[in-house]
Chains A and B, each alone.
Chain A
């Protein structure tokens, strides 16, 4: 798919800020070796002054490295060809205050030399997506910080970027906006985009990132997959529907007999979910607001797949069917919970039956591969049809459920 292995790669990247006399003052970034793969959501964490933003600025050519080199999408970030494939949201939305929201997006669209029709369509889609369509003709200078942040995000997406660099993207956003950005990141990641996320909000990073690195003093202190870094292998968590006191007692006894500590409680709803539900109900009753009116819709051009991409993704799917199924962690988790719910009595029996050892069954795996074509020959025929443009109507109909499933994760 791509010749280069990494979307972002740095080689001993160092940035030292000197004083007026050229004497070294601060090592903001120190011999940073960052390797971010394609299609990865990567989190850059660290306390204030750890070098996160400086790293991003050096990557984007806003600062010159004192030593070392950085490659973005296999090239120099100051090369317009590379820039045209990157979206960037800085730590604050530095927007021309005298432009309206629509003009702002149009201006950045023009910098990407987008054709007029596409530019206009994208501007409207993005305004809708970030919930600012109603105030699209208001100068950005009159916006609240959160609204400006939304426009900032929209401008970063105007070119449908391959690589999205987000510096504190959820700062100043309300929970709906935060949720929307997280959903968007997941959606974009699903489409094969690479995302570099720098944030202080660890919960946000945890929700969306595949891998993270923790910076301190400009150096990498820890790096790895989120699951691996955070998983507590010596503990087990089971989530079930409501159980009677008897069953709870049986489980407690069983666990105690294994000499393991046990804590049981009813889980609490997340405040984020509660908040979003409340606001959505208020929106349904058409209460007036001068702020953002989020539709939680993601721009069509960001979710729609190009014909070429579809073909390439099918090629990947044809050879990596099992891995693809495992990668959709969110879907798998939902399905697993549903499966667990449906078969809870069966599992309870297993738990209470000493003769059976507990094990996780890949129940969803066989279900999820049902819709995927079984043989390479069939896929190749479909691809050939698409490439030659002679796809049959019946084939198209068969593909539609796939598409629907891909988008249903957010509904």
Chain B
């Protein structure tokens, strides 16, 4: 342990004295205050904070990711390239201790820099509302939709398998299957189409979502309906007029007697933008039932579609902004730990330029993994098979950084639960980063350090 500590301290000194960390810290400590003062968002105080948190946290995450990659790849590969390892590895230190020491040093620096940056961002978010004048309505919106952490309920995705299979058979029988597409791709296409059909509402029609086992910690608080309209044809003013009923809708359908109220609200909202409204939490029945009904008023000239992914959510407060912010920062740290292990693996057998290139490529893949995976769905049947057996497995191993975006959760005040944190830690840090580190240890243990390569 003392040897790992010695290497870790040495790594920290190296990072500080060759000024890598100082440059990155300078960038962050200049840009974060500039963003705090300069970003305005949609002009409201909430919009200002949302845009500040989005950009500052994303920038911090990106800069620290690059710093982590540079430090890990540089530190280890330079030890081998400049032959420092000749002196170190002939001392009573095991090779895995050297790697763990390097890793510990870089992660320590990550934690320190992340702590200061996150502290700066957090302090700025608390300070900004005092600096700008805002109406009471804006401040309410800020408290309910930003300075909080809300759990999210999404409607269950209906099972459309039988309908999709039936549709596929029909197409097959009539020889109308698209050429060149794999069966899997066609089925996926049909499934998406069916799901959108299920969530499409024609003018004058309504759609009802029913939630069960809704448990609101405090019945005196408010619940929030968050929605986003997609449309078949854009209305002239890009606005959809609607009527929403929220409460125990069983009273309407089955004439059941219930003390639970039904709240009705008439709205006009812009399309393709997430919108929210709040109602009292007593709309949830005692048995945990909550119904949400949307009426597409006949005035609208278009079909309104609610995307299965983010068409509708019911939100309620379940934690504080501070606690959620801390968990969001942990998400960033998990990314950094994964990248640190990746850097160690790459430099355990590659030179610095090649190792850093590999790591940055994987970082880009991780950031856009969702998009890449989706794009592969449209490959031809032959290529799809090769891809499924090779690249897909590798890409699936890379964590989906776009889903681990802390800013995304904090801006919409979505709860990052401790159970989610534990799951992500287990998957990204323990399993994936652990595999990378184990590979690095094996490779480096068998590597001939003094062998001249290239």
Question: In the bound complex, do residue B86 and residue A90 qualify as a contact, i.e. CB atoms below 8 Å apart?
Answer: yes
A339 at the interface (CB under 8 A from B): no
Which residues of chain A from 59 to 98 have any CB-CB distance to chain B below 8 Å in the complex? 60-64, 77, 80-81, 83-84, 86, 88, 90, 92-96, 98
CA distance A108 to B3 in the complex (A): 9
B2 at the interface (CB under 8 A from A): yes
B10, B13, B18, B87: residue with the most chain A Cβ atoms closer than 10 Å: B87
B93 at the interface (CB under 8 A from A): yes
A273 at the interface (CB under 8 A from B): no
A62-B86, A90-B86, A98-B17 given; A112·B92 CB < 8 A = yes
A80-B94, A96-B14, A98-B14 given; A111·B88 CB < 8 A = yes
B130 at the interface (CB under 8 A from A): no
User: Nearest B residue to A92 by beta-carbon distance?
Assistant: B83
Residues of A close to B90: CB separation below 8 A:
60-62, 77, 83, 86, 88
A98-B18, A103-B13 given; A108·B87 CB < 8 A = yes
Question: In the bound complex, do residue A113 and residue B92 qualify as a contact, i.e. CB atoms below 8 Å apart?
Answer: yes
A392 at the interface (CB under 8 A from B): no
Residues of B close to A14: CB separation below 8 A:
none
Residues of B close to A155: CB separation below 8 A:
87
Question: In the bound complex, do residue B2 and residue A107 qualify as a contact, i.e. CB atoms below 8 Å apart?
Answer: no
Question: In the bound complex, do residue B449 and residue A62 qualify as a contact, i.e. CB atoms below 8 Å apart?
Answer: yes
Residues of A close to B10: CB separation below 8 A:
96, 99, 107
B18, B82, B83: residue with the most chain A Cβ atoms closer than 10 Å: B83
Question: In the bound complex, do residue A111 and residue B6 qualify as a contact, i.e. CB atoms below 8 Å apart?
Answer: yes
Task: Kindly supply a per-residue 1/0 record for chain B positions 87-124, scoring 1 wherever the CB is within 8 Å of any chain A CB and 0 otherwise.
Answer: 11111111000000000000000000000000000000
What count of chain A residues pass the 8 Å CB interface test? 33
Question: In the bound complex, do residue A61 and residue B92 qualify as a contact, i.e. CB atoms below 8 Å apart?
Answer: no
Question: In the bound complex, do residue B83 and residue A83 qualify as a contact, i.e. CB atoms below 8 Å apart?
Answer: no
B277 at the interface (CB under 8 A from A): no
CA distance A39 to B93 in the complex (A): 26
Question: In the bound complex, do residue B93 and residue A80 qualify as a contact, i.e. CB atoms below 8 Å apart?
Answer: yes
Smallest CB separation, A289 vs chain B (Å) = 26
Smallest CB separation, A41 vs chain B (Å) = 20
Residues of A close to B18: CB separation below 8 A:
98
Residues of B close to A103: CB separation below 8 A:
13
A110 at the interface (CB under 8 A from B): yes
Question: In the bound complex, do residue A98 and residue B13 qualify as a contact, i.e. CB atoms below 8 Å apart?
Answer: yes
Residues of A close to B82: CB separation below 8 A:
94
A98-B13, A98-B14, A113-B3 given; A62·B448 CB < 8 A = yes
CA distance A143 to B448 in the complex (A): 29
Q: Which of B9, B83, B87, B448 lies in contact with A63, CB distance below 8 A?
A: B448
Question: In the bound complex, do residue B87 and residue A90 qualify as a contact, i.e. CB atoms below 8 Å apart?
Answer: yes
CA distance A369 to B449 in the complex (A): 51
B256 at the interface (CB under 8 A from A): no
Residues of B close to A80: CB separation below 8 A:
92-94
Q: Which residues of B approach A to under 8 Å, CB–CB?
A: 2-3, 5-6, 9-10, 13-14, 17-18, 82-84, 86-94, 448-451
Known: A61-B89, A93-B87. 10 other contacts (CB 8 A): A63-B449, A80-B92, A81-B92, A94-B83, A94-B87, A98-B13, A98-B18, A110-B2, A110-B6, A112-B91
